[in-house]
Amino acid sequence: MKFRCGLKRSQNSGPVLTERAARKLARRLPVTEPFDLSGLLEQAEKIAGVPIVVRPYLEHVVLAWRTAGESLPAAMCVGGQARIYVFYRQDTSPAHQRHSILHELGHICARHVIASSAVVDSENLSAEVVREATHRSLYEDDQERAAEAFAYALEDRMGPMRVLGDRRSADPDYQEAVDRYGSILEG
């Protein structure tokens, strides 16, 4: 059975995980405080058996989708020859980006996808590859629920996203209010 981006169900890395099993796996994975994506990626790479590269969509892909008047997916995973790429949109909030990345890692960790022999790397991803991948996406509803359960289970353990005061930026007209109320609003 084919899945997003022409990736095939994993044959050798164990069974495809259910929603309940994906949630359970997410609860067992180590989560650092503050959250560090690289640590989670190491765990996901062990499960997938290949390196995972996370990066924003390439600018020419975003431009092609905007020009076509289409909505680019929040994130997607694409199998390459020796790794799996997770691409995400940069024009959303950091919290949405994090959730989208965790959702895609959920698909990977739940064994919905494996690396394929497709010639895809982070520099040659084309808008057409993304379009083909999203149009032939065959994830079943139970797999989407499993990926969401994985993402939410991790987010429950991570807590709210925080921005340290020295890294916080704001419109200069509002900087005083951000400084005064930022710690309250950030949890």
Q: Does pLDDT of 4 surpass 90?
A: no
CB 70 within 8 A of CB 87: no
Q: Does pLDDT of 126 surpass 90?
A: no
Give the separation between CA 2 and CA 160, rounded to whole angstroms. Answer: 36
Q: Does pLDDT of 144 surpass 70?
A: yes
Between 187 and 53, the higher pLDDT residue: 53
Cα angle 157-158-160, degrees, rounded to a multiple of 5: 125
Indicate the range of 22-31, 150-159, 172-181 predicted with least confidence: 172-181
Assign 128 a pLDDT band (cuts: 50, 70, 90): low
Indicate the range of 51-55, 79-83, 150-154, 156-160 predicted with least confidence: 79-83
Indicate the angle between helix axes 94-109 and 37-48, nearest 10 degrees.
20
Indicate the range of 19-33, 70-84, 89-103 predicted with least confidence: 70-84
Assign 133 a pLDDT band (cuts: 50, 70, 90): low
Mean pLDDT over residues 84-111, rounded?
93
Assign 117 a pLDDT band (cuts: 50, 70, 90): very low
Q: What is the mean pLDDT of the chain?
A: 76
Predicted confidence at residue 119, as pLDDT, reads: 47
How far lies 18's CA from each of 111, 139, 147, 153, in Å? 10, 13, 9, 14
Predicted confidence at residue 68, as pLDDT, reads: 86
Give the separation between CA 88 and CA 171, rounded to whole angstroms. Answer: 25
Residue 159 backbone zone (phi > 0: left; psi -120 to 50: alpha; other: beta): left
Q: Which residues contact 167 (CB under 8 A, 6 or more apart)?
A: none
